[in-house]
Structure 1
């Protein structure tokens, strides 16, 4: 075993298929973190920005209307870090065009869609599942992580790599085609992985820690990625875990903060900081980076929430001022939640006939609130581009 002095873990010797190698096993959390004045200031900034966002969330008149665009933006960006190319417009268009028809289940429709968009849609489903669990104040457990992973891998690439199950063999991190000899990082072997997961679950549920929960959140994210317990999808599950713990620990009343935009923008530094912890024990640098992301994204989320709330009212006011029918005004108010619509979806939202829904959509097109959305499917799609721009990527 090579010297690992100063590093938060140990290297263990292992063998697989006749190949000997060394794998990294992180120490149980928490590490010793010496806070200096700069770190204390960074934590105060992050906690303050998050507190302001929490206040925004509590004051929203209809939070559900804003949760869906925030959640979908996170799904697109988190999946993009893993290599998907789908956009927020692709996701909304796919959902609108794939609305289940009478007698057909949603699984039948989704299975025929584009692969990248299905991966993003799976992320939406997994996040919704997790949020429903923590909303009922059930704890975040290893079983929940397996359930989330199963949702993520449903009918997409990786579906043949034990979805919903922790790995039973060694995995590696490295460029395409990397081997045990050329890997950039080798996570814990299976036995040590299982021990590390149990320790992580214990730490997540530990109510006695004196560390600020935002700092704990950064530690937990590193630890999960270092353990790398699944054959595929570890990054997405790790980012899901951040969102769930923010709500479970009541740091936010509703899930408005997501860090994938920050990690995507600073992707190189993100990986460098994680690697710095493993290779040099640089907890301080990682925590500073993580807290800056919390602060920046909290400010962005508060501004984006206000813009979407104002835009919802603006769209309704424009429809009303144009003397649009009540149905068109009501539909304008739902575009923040569902900015790509079909006549069939408008029919269901408004509770009117197909022909009535068609008239309401065409009135919003005349006003300029909706525009036809070109796509390959058979259904006509209409998009509120102002909403897509406000959701942003």
Structure 2
């Protein structure tokens, strides 16, 4: 539906240039969204896919195990969209404090993303509402270290920013002036808390993401916080009991269309085209997460059966195998800490798992070696390669 521009422009000055800053109209859209016909079917398909994902999460023997690595995969993907070159293995090595050859600034950014997401989820589990205060807390965690640490972490911007172009005068888009950011975010918060507009949660998340990106309330980290916001909305609303739906890979794979549709919302009010794209992304992403979970369950089952065939060495090898399921990149010292087994016992078990082809050493070093559960990492790395 073509509604016309979904906001108004205000002349502002920044970096010595005059710009036309865009101030979005508060949500929800007027006239109301068309949620009939094929769009209703898309919504139903997306909800069904989320239900399947919730169901498979309930079947997992240890959902936290899957969540640990899936959250880190999302951190890698979301950060890659912003230009980092870290891989999932880089992040896991960094968390072991073993980072040979890892681009430190990049991996610190990814680690910050994990901390930001986990902080938001912990606050929501504790009953804290999804609010501007929580969004600022998440942003503070995101920019706590490394690049961006000097960009007012946890604070709405007090200066004009812009998107695209080499300077304000040739920018692709200029968000609201700094003096209006607080008011725009307050309106978004009202929308997030509304319970009388009849909008399904998936639709609310789709609208809120665009509005947040349009306001661009921070000096840095807006894209990552905007993607986090989707996960936090779905989790708070109990669409998913485990936070396992992340759209960063879908946005990464369809970057041009993503940005084109954001622009269409602003210039012509075509929320429906954006919503179709978003719902397709939810259905596809949830379906892929279910498939990934099934593949991992099958991998764990088959590999455990191979370990059990080791005879007398099986018991200790299974303990080490379980530790590597929980942390698919680990040093022998880390496994000793996690299992409580003696160092020589763990070393022999790791050697047995190497012989079976379940794990391999990843650093090429003779000391302080790190072992990876390679097939597990291969499945998680699909689509998560640096751009």
TM-score (norm 1): 0.91
Structure 2: runs of 5+ lacking an equivalent: none
Question: Cα 1:368–1:352, aligned 2, differ >3 Å: closer, same or farther?
Answer: same
Q: What whole-Å deviation, never above 9, does each CA across 1:204-261 have from its counterpart, x for those lacking one?
A: 1122220111111100000000000010110000111111111110000101111001
Q: More displaced, 144-153 or 80-89?
A: 144-153
Of the three residues 118, 124, 127, the one matched with 1:128 is: 118
SS of the residue corresponding to residue 96 of structure 2 reads helix
Is residue 2:354 matched to residue 1:365?
Answer: yes
Instruction: Tell me what 1:103 maps to.
Output: none
Question: Cα 1:113–1:285, aligned 2, differ >3 Å: closer, same or farther?
Answer: closer
- Measured in 2, the distance between the counterparts of 1:379 and 1:146 equals 39
Contact 2:156 2:181 in 1 (8 A): no
- Measured in 2, the distance between the counterparts of 1:159 and 1:246 equals 28
Shift of 1:315: 2.1
Question: Cα 1:181–1:113, aligned 2, differ >3 Å: closer, same or farther?
Answer: closer
SS of the residue corresponding to residue 117 of structure 2 reads helix
- Measured in 2, the distance between the counterparts of 1:119 and 1:384 equals 24
Instruction: Tell me what 2:47 maps to.
Output: 47
Instruction: Tell me what 1:342 maps to.
Output: 331
Is residue 2:217 matched to residue 1:217?
Answer: no
- Measured in 1, the distance between the counterparts of 2:81 and 2:46 equals 23
Shift of 1:171: 0.5
Instruction: Tell me what 1:172 maps to.
Output: 162
Instruction: Tell me what 2:59 maps to.
Output: 59
Contact 1:8 1:278 in 2 (8 A): yes
SS of the residue corresponding to residue 18 of structure 2 reads strand
- Measured in 1, the distance between the counterparts of 2:114 and 2:138 equals 10
Shift of 1:137: 2.7
Contact 1:312 1:332 in 2 (8 A): no
Contact 2:161 2:175 in 1 (8 A): yes
Question: Cα 1:18–1:118, aligned 2, differ >3 Å: closer, same or farther?
Answer: closer
Find runs of 4+ consecutive structure 1 residues off by over 6 angstroms.
none
- Measured in 1, the distance between the counterparts of 2:169 and 2:16 equals 12
Is residue 2:221 matched to residue 1:233?
Answer: yes
- Measured in 1, the distance between the counterparts of 2:287 and 2:194 equals 29
Instruction: Tell me what 1:16 maps to.
Output: 14
- Measured in 2, the distance between the counterparts of 1:146 and 1:318 equals 48
Equivalent residue pairs, number: 377
- Measured in 2, the distance between the counterparts of 1:377 and 1:96 equals 17
Shift of 1:360: 2.4
- Measured in 1, the distance between the counterparts of 2:143 and 2:317 equals 38
Instruction: Tell me what 1:104 maps to.
Output: none
Is residue 2:363 matched to residue 1:374?
Answer: yes
TM-score (norm 2): 0.92
